[in-house]
Structure 1
Amino acid sequence: METQLALLAFNAAPVAIVLTEQRVIRACNATFARLLGYRAEDLPGQSFRLFYGSDEEFEEIRDVGLTLLRETGSYTDERLVRHRAGHALWCRFRATTLAPEAPLDRLVMSFAPIHEGGPVSLSKRERQVLELMNRRLTSKEIAARLHLSPRTVDDVRGRLIKRFGVRRSADILPMLGGRG
């Protein structure tokens, strides 16, 4: 009886919850699947790569928070994930490892959308720049990390400013629910 209640609570939870092993989905609730445009029964066995725009993005995001997961067992940030329809969702991400010595072996994660507007359609470069802006990196630091010129990063910021109708790039993240 308790197992059935726990399963019911997991499946009906208003928060998007997913359990992964080695970055492969083992279980997720309906809220998680709906958030990303899938059916819950279609996701177990799928790589988490499905929710990122490129292999490069997927590999880079792996190491974000790894130290904190090892040290404290949990990690929180805001990140862009890809919906099945192809647009980006800005989400608050929380992870708890069940294996601190090897944090990615088994993780319980939750995702909550923090952008109230419609779907956000961003290029790979725009996603990269926004992610690094959210980590409070300057244009110069972003350029170095992405092997670009600072001018290219400024051009991307300019396009984002125009698209979101804001005065400066620092106004974009609060609009999407990021740190800003």
Structure 2
Amino acid sequence: MIDFTTLAFDHAPIGIVLSEDRVIKRCNATFATMLGYRAEDIQGQSFRMFYGSDEEYQRIREVGIAALKRNQDYSDERLLRHCNGDNIWCRFRAHSLTPDAPLARIILSYALISDSAQPITLSKRERQVLGLMNQGMTSKEIARDLTLSPRTIEDVRARLIKRFGVRRSADLLGRMTELG
């Protein structure tokens, strides 16, 4: 008979770890592979191996503890050290099974940020500027319409161009269309 729970854990498209006191008790292949290991090689190991220094390892311990003690999930984005020494950027989520001692038994998930299809989050100002750019307005026209300085509009436009890795405003609008 197929054990669907094990099947789902082992083949989930995100990294999943069961940890006790910051030691990996069980992890799926997705987690191990994203860090350059085989699951059996890191089970029983401390999470220390994924941080650049003891100080970083100790500092990251305190992150999110308060939320976990209140029986809430915690999430952030963090760097982990790949086996080749490179750092990878991950979206991290944690759910403690023992809120009184949050790290005693905890379920963790990791997703590579470059692989995640997260919705685009734009500030109100960024949405306004993009909307008016899409109508063909210049920075001066947008500034007048929003009662802002043209320099402010240029700054918003430049940040968006850099954020989405394009060279020109037209490319930015094209990228927004591609992303929905």
* TM class by smaller structure: 0.5 to 0.7
Counterparts of residues 29-178 of structure 1 (less than 5 Å): 29-115=28-114
Gaps of 5+ in 1: 117-166, 176-180
| Mean Cα deviation higher: 33-42 or 5-14 | 5-14
Query: What TM-score results when the alignment is normalised by the length of structure 2?
Result: 0.63
Task: Give a deviation string over 1:114-136, Cα, whole Å, max 9, x none.
Answer: 136xxxxxxxxxxxxxxxxxxxx
Query: What TM-score results when the alignment is normalised by the length of structure 1?
Result: 0.63
Task: Give a deviation string over 1:47-94, Cα, whole Å, max 9, x none.
Answer: 000100011100000000000011133100000110011000111000
1:12: which partner in 2?
11
In the TM superposition, residue 6 of structure 1 has moved relative to its aligned partner by 1.1
Residue 107 of structure 1 aligns to which amino acid in structure 2? I
Task: Give a deviation string over 1:37-56, Cα, whole Å, max 9, x none.
Answer: 00011111100001000111
- What's the secondary structure of 1:26's corresponding residue? strand
Task: Give a deviation string over 1:122-173, Cα, whole Å, max 9, x none.
Answer: xxxxxxxxxxxxxxxxxxxxxxxxxxxxxxxxxxxxxxxxxxxxx88xx68x
Gaps of 5+ in 2: 116-157, 166-180
8 Å CA contact 1:89, 1:115 repeated in 2: no
Q: Write the distance in 2 (CA, Å) between the matches of 1:69 and 1:81.
A: 21
8 Å CA contact 2:92, 2:111 repeated in 1: yes
| Moved >2 Å (runs of 4+) | none
Q: Write the distance in 2 (CA, Å) between the matches of 1:115 and 1:5.
A: 29
Q: Write the distance in 2 (CA, Å) between the matches of 1:8 and 1:41.
A: 16
Q: Write the distance in 2 (CA, Å) between the matches of 1:91 and 1:22.
A: 21
Residue 39 of structure 1 aligns to which amino acid in structure 2? R
Identical positions, percent: 55
- What's the secondary structure of 2:90's corresponding residue? strand
Q: Between Structure 1 and Structure 2, whose CA radius of gyration is higher?
A: 2
8 Å CA contact 1:80, 1:88 repeated in 2: yes
Provide the aligned C-alpha RMSD in A.
1.9
Task: Give a deviation string over 1:96-120, Cα, whole Å, max 9, x none.
Answer: 000000000011000011136xxxx
